[in-house]
Amino acid sequence: MSSESFETQRAALADVVAIPVTPFAEDGSVDQDVHRALLRRLLDGGIRTLTPNGNTGEFYALTPQERRLVTEITIDEVGDRGVILVGVGHDVPTAVASARHARELGAAMVMVHQPVHPYVSQGGWVDYHRAIAEAVPELGVVPYIRNAQLSGHRLAELADFCPNVIGVKYAVPDAAKFAAFARDAGLDRFVWVAGLAEPYAPSYFSAGATGFTSGLVNVTPAVSLNMIEALRSGDYPAAMKVWEQIRRFEELRAANGSANNVTVVKEALASLGLCRREVRPPSKPLPESERAEVAAIAAGWSI
Amino acid sequence: MSSESFETQRAALADVVAIPVTPFAEDGSVDQDVHRALLRRLLDGGIRTLTPNGNTGEFYALTPQERRLVTEITIDEVGDRGVILVGVGHDVPTAVASARHARELGAAMVMVHQPVHPYVSQGGWVDYHRAIAEAVPELGVVPYIRNAQLSGHRLAELADFCPNVIGVKYAVPDAAKFAAFARDAGLDRFVWVAGLAEPYAPSYFSAGATGFTSGLVNVTPAVSLNMIEALRSGDYPAAMKVWEQIRRFEELRAANGSANNVTVVKEALASLGLCRREVRPPSKPLPESERAEVAAIAAGWSI
A97 → chain B, closest CA residue: B63
Distance from C-alpha of A56 to C-alpha of A38, rounded to nearest angstrom: 13
DSSP state of A281: T
SS3 of A117-171: the string is CCCCCHHHHHHHHHHHHHHCCCCEEEEEECCCCCCHHHHHHHHHHCCCECEEEEC
How many CB pairs lie under 8 A apart between chains A and B? 133
* Three-class SS state of A228: helix
CB contacts of A63 in chain B (<8 Å) are: 91, 93-94
Residue among B64, B121, B280 whose CB faces A282 most closely: B121
DSSP H or E segment with residue A31: none
Distance from C-alpha of B154 to C-alpha of B89, rounded to nearest angstrom: 19
pLDDT reported for residue B4: 55
d(CA B190, nearest CA chain A) in Å:
22
pLDDT tens-digit readout, A15-37: 999 999 999 999 999 999 999 99
List residues forming the annotated binding site of B for pyruvate: 56
pLDDT tens-digit readout, A64-98: 999 999 999 999 999 999 999 999 999 999 999 99
d(CA A117, nearest CA chain B) in Å:
5
**Prediction ipTM score:** 0.91
CB contact under 8 A, A282 and B257: no
Whole-angstrom CA distances from B79 to A134, B7, B213 are: 42, 19, 21
pLDDT reported for residue A4: 55
DSSP state of A14: S
Rounded average pLDDT over A37-63? 98
Low-confidence ranges of chain B (pLDDT < 70): 1-4, 303
Rounded average pLDDT over A46-67? 98
Domains and CATH numbers, chain A: 3-232 (3.20.20.70)
Instruction: Please give the span between the terminal C-alpha atoms of chain B, in angstroms, as a whole number.
Output: 47
Interface test with A, best of B27, B30, B117, B127 (most A CBs within 10 A): B117
Distance from C-alpha of A33 to C-alpha of A23, rounded to nearest angstrom: 9
Whole-angstrom CA distances from B114 to A229, B10, B69, B95, B164 are: 40, 20, 22, 11, 17
pLDDT reported for residue A303: 66
CB-CB contact of B286 with B294 (8 Å): yes
Question: How many residues appear in chain A?
Answer: 303
CB-CB contact of B108 with A50 (8 Å): no
Residue type, A219: V
State the greatest distance between any 2 C-alpha atoms of chain A, in Å, as a whole number. Answer: 56
Distance from C-alpha of A187 to C-alpha of A205, rounded to nearest angstrom: 12
pLDDT reported for residue B3: 46
Distance from C-alpha of A23 to C-alpha of A205, rounded to nearest angstrom: 31
pLDDT tens-digit readout, A282-295: 999 999 999 999 99
Tell me which of B119, B128, B144, B177 is the catalytic residue.
B144
pLDDT reported for residue B269: 98
Looking at the predicted structure, is the pLDDT value of residue A3 above 70?
no
Whole-angstrom CA distances from A2 to A9, A87, A160, A161, B17 are: 11, 22, 11, 12, 50
pLDDT reported for residue A9: 98
> How large is the C-alpha radius of gyration of chain B?
18
CB contact under 8 A, A118 and B280: no
CB contacts of A262 in chain B (<8 Å) are: 119
Those residues with Cβ within 8 angstroms of residue A17's Cβ, 6 or more apart along the chain or in another chain: A49, A50, A51, A85, A169, A193, A211, A212, A213, A214
CB contact under 8 A, B261 and A119: yes
Interface test with B, best of A19, A58, A94, A121 (most B CBs within 10 A): A121
Q: What percent of chain A has pLDDT over 70?
A: 98
Burial B79-89 (b: 16+ CB within 10 A, else e): eeebbbbbbbb
Question: How many residues appear in chain B?
Answer: 303
Residue among B62, B117, B282 whose CB faces A60 most closely: B117
CB contact under 8 A, B284 and A123: yes
Q: How far is CA A107 from the centre of its chain?
A: 15
